[in-house]
Amino acid sequence: MLDVHAGEVFGVVGHNGAGKSTLMRVLSGIEPTDSGTVRISGATAPSDSGFPGARMAYQEGSLALELTVYENIYLSSSTWIADRRWHGPASRRAEARLNEIFPGHAIRPADYVDDLTLAERQMVEIARATIADDLSLLILDEPTESLSGGAVDHLYEYVRKLRASGHAIVLVSHRLKEILAICDRVAVMKDGAVVSTHLAGSVSEKDLFQAMGGEVVIDKTVNSAKAAGLDSERPVAVTVSMVTVDGEATQIVAHKGEVIGLAGIAGQGQEQVLDRLWRRSADVHVSTALAYVPGDRQRSGVLPIWDVARNLTITALPGMSSNGIRQMDKEDALVAEWVDRLKVRGGATAAITALSGGNQQKVIVARAFAADADTILLDDPFRGVDVHTKAELYELIKSEARKGRTIIWYSSENSEMQHCDRAYVLRAGRVAGELHGPEITDERIITLSFAEAGGPLS
């Protein structure tokens, strides 16, 4: 039995595909149970609007992109915003709650959701879930994957405030440090079942890894072309014209077979560098074909009406056709290779939308690496992916680099940059410094992220 108490933050962890998001949809009343009983605030069956007092902020987002922020708020809050002239009350509620949870945000109620950044849409998603006069249970499914450090701190400060006022909060996250820091108890899920429950103060990250199915040993070695003195021997695959924080001209350079990181605080121009490369702007040089893993999985990644196989092969089709005719045997072999290599749950014929977020991300990453491209651009590719899957994908990146592919990789988690040969730290769209191999640490990245112009950069 799984029980969540009033005045408690209850964490849920597990591998991608363990059943976490499905359980959360059951608790919110979206999906029925096959067996067993769910009881929330005394109700054992949801109404048309879900269980009483239960609201959820979804991992993949549930906002209507073509509507404004306040229109989205009204869609799910009409019971609490009953005025015929609802535009004003909905706008005021949206603005007040966003200000309460995320002070300093730049979102206006009249903004169209489609025009917001991924982080801003996540803020609206979370704020909307809290706007309910009878709120008793708040479910947060991977709420921080799109948020920067400051926004994460503000969110958890608000969660603590809700807990103090007697609300129950269920938090699903792959970020185990956050789980242990904010939660009172933690449940571990595996293969659709809760296998253990722990007091957060009595377990470590390692304990949770093991409860999820075994300890993960991540190889943090890097090729470090710079340390090996190989830069001059490898052909240059990519250059991007940049400016340093001191205003001097410089370049981001990637050699064939290197893994290059774009590091620093989120929103400092890393994604713009990837966009310039993908669009082949006039101030960049790319010597080879490109493949791209977008940061916004739902908006720019998955093709929702297609199955896993078609999502995976779409970029590789030109290289597998003969005189414009598809070679189905080659496609089937390619799909089988990557589904097996990345252990995609559901298999080739599964609907892409039926997969967990982490397995969807595996397919998108596989699509890029299956393409006939020598340079791969990765925009925060492991957002919402569990530590075991990350380990598999880190090894994939390194093995493909050893084959001569060039990888340019942005991550919102500085610790992931330790898997790169070199990392460029960006601040306000400028290069704050360059780190090599063992120099790539959280501390050095943070130092460079806040270094004053003209000050020490390493």
Residue 225 has pLDDT above 60, yes or no: no
For the chain, domain boundaries: 8-213, 231-450
Structure tokens that stand for 182 in this block = 């904010």
Residue type, 103: P
**DSSP-assigned letter for residue 456:** -
pLDDT of 67: 93
CB atoms within 10 A of CB 11: 25
**Which pLDDT tens digit goes with each residue over 319-377?**
777 777 888 888 888 889 888 888 888 888 898 888 877 788 888 888 889 888 999 99
Banded pLDDT at 220 (limits 50, 70, 90): very low
Q: What is the pLDDT of residue 359?
A: 84
Same topology between domain 8-213 and domain 231-450: yes
Q: Please, what is the angle between helix 118-130 and helix 69-77, to 10°?
A: 30
φ, ψ (nearest 5 deg) of residue 403 = -80, -5
CATH code of the domain made up of 8-213: 3.40.50.300
How many other CB atoms are found less than 10 A from the CB of residue 280?
10
The string of pLDDT tens digits covering residues 59-104 is 767 888 899 999 998 887 777 776 678 888 889 889 999 999 999 8
- Right CATH number for 231-450 from 3.50.50.60, 3.40.50.880, 3.40.50.300, 3.20.20.70? 3.40.50.300
Lowest mean pLDDT: which of 17-26, 164-173, 294-303, 386-395? 294-303
Q: Across 88-228, where does the E strand assignment appear?
A: 137-141, 168-172, 185-190, 193-199
Using alpha carbons only, what angle is made at residue 329 by residues 325 and 330, rounded to the nearest 5 degrees? 80
Residue ranges of the alpha helices (H) in 242-386?
270-278, 308-313, 317-320, 328-341, 357-370
Going from the C-alpha of 39 to that of each of 27, 53, 86, 137, the distances in angstroms are 9, 12, 33, 12
* Whether the predicted pLDDT of 10 surpasses 50: yes
| Cα separation of the two ends of the chain | 52
Contact 381, 361 (CB under 8 A): yes
Q: Is the pLDDT of residue 187 over 70?
A: yes
Task: Report the b/e string of 169-207 with b at 16+ CB within 10 A.
Answer: bbbbbbbbebbbebbbbbbbbbeeebeebbebeebeeeb
| Contact yes or no for 250/285 (Cβ under 8 A) | no
Predicted local distance difference test score (pLDDT) of residue 249: 94
Q: What are the distances in angstroms from CA 137 to CA 57, 58, 106? A: 11, 14, 28
For residue 9, the model assigns a pLDDT of 96
Q: Enter the tokens of residue 361.
A: 């991300």
Q: Residues 264-275: pLDDT tens digits?
A: 877 788 989 999
Q: What pLDDT score was predicted for residue 215?
A: 45
Q: How far apart are CA 389 and CA 290, in angstroms?
A: 24
Residue 394: partners with Cβ closer than 8 Å, 6 or more residues away: 218, 219, 416, 419
Is residue 106 within 8 Å of residue 148, measured between CB atoms?
Answer: no
Residue with tokens 């969807």: 360
Cβ-proximal residues to 53 (8 Å cutoff; 6+ apart), any chain: 40, 41, 132, 134, 135, 136, 137
pLDDT of residue 453: 43
For the record, the structure tokens of 378 come out as 């990765």
Q: Look at the block and give the residue holding tokens 């070199």.
A: 422
pLDDT of res. 448: 83
Q: Is the pTM value of this prediction over 0.85?
A: no
Stronger pLDDT, 1 or 163, i.e. the higher one: 163
Per-residue confidence band for 301, with pLDDT thresholds at 50, 70 and 90: confident
Q: What is the pLDDT of residue 214?
A: 53
pLDDT attached to residue 171: 95
